[in-house]
Structure 1
Amino acid sequence: MRSTRPLSRRRAKGRLPDRPDGLAVQVRRAFLRAFGGLYNDLVRRRARLGAAAVIFNADGRVLLVRHSYGRRSWELPGGGREPKESVAQAAGREVREELGVEITNARLCGLYYEADVDQHHFVFRCQLAAGAEPKVSSAEILEWGYWPLTGLPRPITDFTVRRIADAQSPSTSIAVAVLPARTWLE
């Protein structure tokens, strides 16, 4: 239903932004929330797909990498999918690029959708290949380490913590969730 109030009055109540580009962003976000991936089909845009690997060592510690950009946060190894690549292949490639090692026994353990950025995240619980020793092999990674689940490093996002928790399940269940905006844990 269309409002009969003048545009200036709707802006005054905070319903529309003052910037013209803000309206386009607002409309896009509304479509994303309402229609999800269908929005991409309507505008003939490819969905953004990301893949990450959750790797536990024999002591139950999780492997995390610290980025060299942004907040220099700790994250799971991972990144965006390349064209003609499966999300499982993307997870393996990202671990190889960031840490110089191969993964095995990749099992999908989580599928998450971030509506605000229109991105699907696929998370795989995996193991390192026998005898593999990670080493920083990308300029985007400062360092890596295995961390106890009760003492995860900071800064880290609530999304990373959630993916680690969901991957702990020994069953074959897959966590599926639509995510709110990320929160930083400092």
Structure 2
Amino acid sequence: MTRFLPAPLHRALLPLAHLVRHHWRRWRKTPIAGVSVVITNLGGDVLLLKHSYGPEVWGLPGGGLAAGEDPETAARREVREELGIELARIIVVTTLEEELSGSPHTAYLFAATCDQRPRPDGREVVEARFFPSHSLPEPLGETTRARIDAWRRRRNA
């Protein structure tokens, strides 16, 4: 949604938009693609956020790819839009083939380190905090848990 709507109205409409998108994907089953970014601070803590829509779980920054958009460009854009963070360096972790809302989904997973404080946009993201990687909060989204596990495997390889 565009920024012409006041933030409280935008935030109020996002759950409805999320529900419609979820049912649309289940019906169409069109392949989709998105990005997630595991961001750590200089101490190794992991940045997690809560969205204003969807399940009330801790998740990773990220979102969908626009038509023809490069995954790294999308990852940088999503982090900037959701958290006000400009990532200096970003690395590819892996690509996951999964199902999201009943549709085939390609998830491009990235990792980055930053020394900035997240500034949630107050629209899509209502809270963002760093947590020690050995003590992540609950509830942690199922998809988020799988992506963090993939990041850990890559980091420890």
TM-score by length of 1: 0.61
- The alpha-carbon distance between structure 1 residues 157 and 52, as it changes in their structure 2 partners (threshold 3 A), is same
Query: CA 1:142 to 1:108, structure 2 compared with 1: closer, same or farther past 3 Å?
Result: same
Structure number with the bigger relative contact order (C-alpha 8 A, sep ≥ 6) is 2
Deviations 1:60-83 (A, max 9, x none): 210011111122221110000012
Counterpart of 1:124 in structure 2: which amino acid? F
CA displacement 1:144-172 (0-9 Å, x = unmatched)? 0011223212222232122123223337x
Alignment partner of 1:124 is 2:110 = yes
Paired amino acid for 1:170: R
- Counterpart selection for 2:155 from 149, 153, 170: 170
Cα distance in 2 for partners of 1:53, 1:138 equals 19
Whether contact under 8 Å (2:42, 2:113) holds in the other structure is no
Residue identity over aligned pairs, in percent, reads: 34
Contact 1:97 / 1:138 at 8 angstroms: preserved in 2?
Answer: no
- Choose the corresponding residue for 1:57, options 13, 16, 41: 41
**Residue of structure 2 in register with 1:67 after alignment:** 51
TM-superposed deviation, 1:84: 2.4
The 8 Å contact of residues 63 and 78 in structure 2, kept in 1 or not, is answered as: yes
Letter in 1 for 2:103: V
Q: Which amino acid aligns with 1:163?
A: R
* 2:74 alignment partner, one of 83, 90, 93: 90
> Residue 119 of structure 2 aligns with which residue?
135
Residue 114 of structure 1 contacts residue 120 of structure 1 at CA under 8 Å; is this kept in 2?
yes
Other structure's SS at 2:155 match? coil
Name the SS of the counterpart of 1:101 in structure 2.
Answer: coil
In 1, the alpha carbon distance for the partners of 2:139 and 2:80 equals: 24
| Structure 2 Cα separation of the partners of residues 87 and 138 of structure 1 | 24
Opposite residue 39 of structure 2, the aligned amino acid is I
Q: How many residues align?
A: 129
Change (3 A) 1:56 1:137: same
Residue 103, structure 1, aligned to residue 87, structure 2: yes
Please list every run of 5 or more consecutive structure 1 residues that lacks an aligned counterpart in the other structure.
1-24, 30-44, 174-186
- In the superposition, the TM-score normalised over structure 2's length comes to 0.72
RMSD, aligned α-carbons: 2.3
| Structure 1 CA distance for aligned equivalents of residues 44 and 149 of structure 2 | 12
Q: Deviations over 1:5-38 (max 9, x none)?
A: xxxxxxxxxxxxxxxxxxxx8xx98xxxxxxxxx
